[in-house]
Chain A
Amino acid sequence: GIQVEQSPPDLILQEGANSTLRCNFSDSVNNLQWFHQNPWGQLINLFYIPSGTKQNGRLSATTVATERYSLLYISSSQTTDSGVYFCAVLNDYKLSFGAGTTVTVRA
């Protein structure tokens, strides 16, 4: 099956800092999504981005499907950005998730 790798596994930020999370995948995909799991366990869909660039407030994402990677940018980080960020790709009717990047934003 398709492999999804995320880096870095852990990230500690000072409030206000910018960061980039990376997602590599092993095969071509038609569907890539980024999720945020907050400290209470809820999974929130951030982006549906099979290709190109999208922005939503302080977050933006870019997927280069031909090179099999996607990037999630967090700008001017806030403590509420803490949690685990997952990328997931569609493979045979299911989303295959990466292991996630745990982000801790300190005040």
Chain B
Amino acid sequence: GQNIDQPTEMTATEGAIVQINCTYQTSGFNGLFWYQQHAGEAPTFLSYNVLDGLEEKGRFSSFLSRSKGYSYLLLKELQMKDSASYLCAVVDSNYQLIWGAGTKLIIKP
């Protein structure tokens, strides 16, 4: 079966750095997305990785290792507004999005 694993919940301090991990086992791989979802709002696109390595976009970076079936989202200089759920999704061989259950990130002052 297809499986995406990510931690259910993480807590971090304002101004700090946090890394949210995602491991996957899917039938084929055509890329990996990270989405951010604030409570009661739509998931919004954060990043897309299809090749190994690190993609940096401001305070957020996303890393992919296809051989390890592993990705992480790195958030730097955390702000209170970063409190949200972070969803990992893999594009399988049929170009379907396979979703993780999301990681709820709580930022404390």
Asked whether A and B interact, the reply is no
Q: Which residues of A contact B (CB under 8 A)?
A: none
